[in-house]
Copies of this chain bind each other. A is one copy, B any other.
């Protein structure tokens, strides 16, 4: 169970040596929840924990992908290596996955310190969340200084950004409208940084003022008051300020001692997700194997027995099959 006990699988060794193809293949396995990925994933774990993981979330159409692109450029000019994971179904990065043929912009010409990866956002909800976490961690172990994660923020998303990112940026646009609803529905509480994008449009100052007022209301996030910045992809403007706000929050995590606590909560969630994944796999086995189950289902459809009775039976079955 300790890191010394396991020998490093060749794939993991290649990834630590900078082999991008090995990384891409392992991420594909992780995304498919292929158990073959497990030895490498496990042995790379001790090499993770160094990257700054920044999540960008917000409603559709606020320009998250453009911001990711601009941040990427900003960070590269500072000499930092950057991984990008796009889980947003509206993102141009992951747009292809909706249409069936995934687009993978894996290596912008001439830049080997960037690795962009889109995740399929359909499929088993918990599976996407686990795959995203493990992919972020693989990019971290690969040596990326920063990992940017883009998800759509419906407040009910498969991948909750604060489960993955050390700093969560919530992106909105000047005329909030429906987005205020989304904010109320959960995004507001998770924001470490608010980014009013498209600040060239009228109403940006008012939106920033409104958000600033809102952030004064509560003493949440262990004492951190969310920063509010304005950005525009026209120009572009505010990108440096956005990154400064992120860096300030990262510094706060260290100085306040909350980083470890967050790490712990995040890992607990992840472990619970892994347990559920294993139980689901057992459940599928039990389902496939039990000849009686089909007749039970018939009786549930006929309203002769109720769903809870069958659930109880399955739980007993999972426990029995050791």
Contact = CB atoms under 8 A, between A and B. Distances in A.
Interface stretch (A19-27, A65-73, A75-83, A278-286): A278-286
B304 A185 contact: no
Contact of A274 (B3, B157, B311): B311
A250 interface: no
Contacts of A256: none
A103 interface: no
A26 to B, nearest CB: 15
A16 interface: no
A10 interface: no
Contacts of A177: 61
A178 B42 CA distance: 39
B278 A315 contact: yes
A307 B156 contact: no
Interface string A1-32: 11100000000000000000000000000000
Given A122-B186, A278-B311, A178 B1 contact: no
Given A89-B155, A125-B156, A186-B122, A308 B3 contact: no
Contacts of A276: 276, 279-280
A263 interface: yes
Contacts of A122: 155, 185-186
Interface residues of A, number: 67
Nearest to A98: B184
A45 B264 contact: no
A210 to B, nearest CB: 17
Interface string A140-174: 00000000000010111110000000000000000
A301 B263 contact: yes
Interface string A47-60: 01100000000001
A247 interface: no
A267 B293 CA distance: 12
Contact of A90 (B49, B178, B298): B178
A121 interface: yes
A3 B305 contact: yes
Interface in A274-322: 274-280, 283, 297-298, 300-301, 303-312, 314-315, 318-319, 322
A135 to B, nearest CB: 14
B45 A156 contact: no
A271 B311 contact: yes
Nearest to A179: B60
A38 interface: yes
A156 B158 contact: yes
The 3 A-B residue pairs with the shortest CB-CB distance in the complex, in nearest-first order? A274-B311, A45-B306, A154-B154
Interface of A: 1-3, 38, 41-42, 45-46, 48-49, 60-61, 89-90, 98-99, 121-122, 125, 152, 154-158, 177-178, 181-182, 184-186, 260, 263-264, 267-268, 270-272, 274-280, 283, 297-298, 300-301, 303-312, 314-315, 318-319, 322
